[in-house]
Chain A
Amino acid sequence: MTPFQPPMGLIAELTHRCPLQCAYCSNPLAMDRPEDELTTQDWLRVLDQAAEIGVLQVHFSGGEPMARRDLAELVAHAASRDLYTNIITSGVLLTDAAMAELLEAGIDHIQLSFQDSRASEAERIGGYKGGHAKKLDAARRIREAGLPLTANFVLHKQNAERADEMIALGEELQAERIEIAHTQYYGWALLNRNALLPSVAQLGEVNRAVAAARERLKGHIVLDYVVPDYHAARPKPCMGGWARRFINISPSGKALPCHAAETLPGFTFPSVRDTSLQAIWNESDAFTRFRGTEWMPELCRSCDRREIDWGGCRCQALALAGDASATDPVCARSPHHDLVTEATAAAEGASLDLVPRRL
């Protein structure tokens, strides 16, 4: 037996390359260069190790995972190890040929991201002319292939009023699952926070739209909703708790408990180039440091929600309070909670100018 429960999911960030430039991208500001990316052989080895230690689902992500020419080969290998395979893509590279190749490889599910329900707005955010039409084509190909589709919509103050339209588009595309996900403020989104963070009134409207749609779509379409934690009284259990469920591998091979963890100072994240997933999960300082409840400040350790919230998000504690081991400032009990209320106030009426994501 391993000392900890094995991980459930592996997030394989194959590349940071992407044809889109969304200003809320969750990738780090300092992205991995193409020449530093893991090789096909590296990824095949990682997939074998993942299956051996008990990973059940692999999420091929990025950047744009379809920018990697070996994607179908990696999917086929994961499928041969009984791993459930998922691709998280913008869809703009999902041609007929690419779809056929992935289907042959045994892909289980595709998540397609949309920047808006309207083409002009979507393309303003994504910075890719003609992208929206390509996504609609990609959705059709996925359905024609008989695969389940998740239509993902990222919300922020510049598109929140169209939540109803987005859900309607997801229905029209016959999605199996619709994800309405408020922007989470890391990486590029943190940089652009003032231009993205919705107001309490906007959030209320989206909450209403989602609740009504959920009731209507019950048993037909799964509607998952990710709330913006800045407006919450309790923090999110980030990644289901530090190193409790997921391993995230960066394009250059760093193993991270979450995709934003590279921002944390004082950490040496192990590389899959020279360390096994088993050793990373069970023994590495990076994965064990904030696991469980021992590391928590007294405020969290004495809280009856300690094994629900798991102290919230470490990267957010660092980004806002300057201390990765502090209570997530989103928590109303945090001594730094005023930083969150200040941030939401600062976003009210702020400029809508965005800094696009670029390598």
Chain B
Amino acid sequence: MTDLAIVPTFRRGVKFRLDEVRRRWIVLAPEKLLLPDEIATEILKLVDGARSINAIVDDLATRFDAPREVICGDVLQALQDLSTRGAIRL
């Protein structure tokens, strides 16, 4: 089980930026390119090396006016997936 106090960070060599040509956010990593969906994009915008998973969940739950447990489940799932694919470190 992932500890919600963990502060997720981008892994070495990973860049998250807006692609002006495709008009969407992209993750550039060593010989990999990820096209995060809308949920993952909102989460990644909050990965700043300071916010914990808890803080990210709080932020999204407030902004999207959704139950915290639901947001928490989505965030954990997305972060696990991004971790496995090499974008972030948990």
Interface residues of A (CB under 8 A from B): 6, 8-9, 53-54, 56-57, 59, 82, 84, 86, 108-109, 111, 146-148, 150, 176-177, 179, 218-219, 222, 224
A147 to B12, CA, bound (A): 7
Contact B22 A150 (CB under 8 A): no
Across the interface, which residues of B come within 8 angstroms of A179, CB to CB?
Answer: 31
Residue of B nearest to A146 (CB): B12
Does the CB pair B28–A57 fall under 8 Å?
yes
Are B26 and A176 touching (Cβ within 8 A)?
no
Complexed CA–CA distance, A8 and B31 (Å): 11
B residues in contact (CB < 8 Å) with A: 11-13, 15, 17, 19, 21-22, 26, 28, 30-33, 83-86, 89-90
In the assembled complex, the CB of B37 is this many whole angstroms from the nearest CB of chain A, namely 17
- Known A6-B21, A57-B33, A108-B15; contact A177-B86, beta-carbon cutoff 8 A: yes
A114 to chain B, nearest CB (A): 16
CB contact under 8 A between A219 and B15, given known A54-B22, A57-B33: no
| Smallest beta-carbon distance A106→chain B, Å | 11
* B12:A8 contact, CB within 8 angstroms: no
B28 touches A56 (CB 8 A): yes
In the complex, the answer to whether B84 meets A8 with C-beta atoms within 8 Å is no
Residue of A nearest to B15 (CB): A84
Query: In angstroms, how far is the closest chain B Cβ from the Cβ of A105?
Result: 15
Determine if A109 and B30 form an interchain contact, defined as CB atoms under 8 angstroms apart: yes
Q: Which of A59, A82, A109, A150 has the most CB of B within 10 A?
A: A109
Cβ-closest chain B residue relative to A110: B30
Report the nearest A residue to B90, measured CB to CB: A219
A148 touches B12 (CB 8 A): yes
- Rounded to whole angstroms, the CA-CA distance of A219 and B81 in the bound complex is 9
Whether A222 lies near B85 (C-beta < 8 A) is yes
Cβ-defined contact, A177 with B31, below 8 A: yes
What are some 30 contacts across the A-B interface (CB < 8 A)? A6-B21, A9-B33, A53-B21, A54-B19, A54-B21, A54-B22, A56-B26, A57-B28, A57-B31, A57-B33, A59-B31, A82-B17, A84-B28, A108-B13, A108-B28, A109-B30, A111-B31, A146-B12, A148-B12, A148-B13, A148-B30, A176-B13, A176-B30, A177-B30, A218-B84, A219-B83, A219-B90, A222-B30, A222-B85, A224-B31
With a CB–CB cut-off of 8 A, which chain B residues contact A56? 19, 26, 28, 33
Give every chain B residue within 8 A of A53 (Cβ-Cβ): 21
B13, A222: Cβ atoms under 8 Å?
A: no
List A contacts of B90 (CB < 8 A). 219
A298 to B19, CA, bound (A): 38
Q: For the complex, what is the distance from the CA of A56 to the CA of B28, rounded to whole Å?
A: 8
Residues of A within 8 A of B21 (CB): 6, 53-54
Q: Which residues of A contact B19 (CB under 8 A)?
A: 54, 56
